[in-house]
Amino acid sequence: MNQKKTVFITGTSSGIGKAAARYFSDKGWNVAATMRSPEKDTDVKLYPFTKVYKVDVTDTNSILSALKMAVSDFGQIDVVVNNAGYGVDGVFEAMSESVVHKQFDTNVFGLMRVTRAFIEYFRVNNIKGHIVQVASMGGRIAFPLYSIYHGTKWAVEGFTESLQYELAQFGIRVKLVEPGAIKTEFYGLSRHFIKPENTTDYDNFVAKCEKLSSETGKNGDDPSGTAATIFKAANDTSNRLRFATGKPAPMLLLLRKLVPDRVWFFIVRSSYKI
């Protein structure tokens, strides 16, 4: 009988992370579900084979502590899912340096901290583990008013694509999951929208972009579909790197690859009526 596998997932308090914790649990895996405020959790801790740990990805010590506890509780971790993150959107001119820094500290440097910790864990223990990065279709295409969010996701894509080469020698596989529009708090409570207070010059542009962004959020896919894709990536032993999921990601990513810049820009401008 094979030993039960264990997954370590960041950002499981809501959205894709929570759905992934449930999905792996339903598949019979042990789940080390991490979140910044586990004391607020009322349901993830009740999932079968699941334990909840405190992790703030901007704090290396909390990552290492949770990793150590999860290994103690489950014996071995086979997969890490880097899901923790949030979105800042709005007018770049109005964004302070601290806002930009916080966005990158969570979405990029936080992901890198977790990745580094698990590379060492897998390598030292000779575990042929999987590192699954939850990126975005916004890591390869870009839309208005998401400049720094796209900056973080494009960084994750480039970082991960390069990383695969140095980790292959250890049998460690890295995967990128690229969700499209998903119904999560990305469009709701966790959204951080920034608009200039000292000028109305952007108002018309923002209003047009907001209209489409709002509609996109309402019509997004359920996060369970992305959870299924994460599970697929976590079990994939081929050299496939990218897994697009959730409408309209597969279609838009293919389109972006096929058409020249000027055509793509025209499509985006027309969609937003800008």
Contact predicate 106/174, CB 8 Å: no
Q: How many CB atoms lie within 10 A of CB 67?
A: 22
121 catalytically annotated: no
Instruction: Report the number of secondary-structure helices (H) and strands (E) in the chain.
Output: 9, 9
Choose the catalytic residue: 23, 47, 121, 149.
Answer: 149
User: Which amino acid belongs to residue 269?
Assistant: R
Strand ranges in the chain using DSSP code E only, listed in sequence order: 6-9, 30-35, 50-54, 79-82, 88-90, 130-134, 173-179, 192-194, 242-245
C-alpha 70/C-alpha 209 separation (Å) is: 43
C-alpha 45/C-alpha 7 separation (Å) is: 14
Coil vs helix vs strand at 95: coil
Q: Which residues does the annotation mark as catalytic?
A: 149
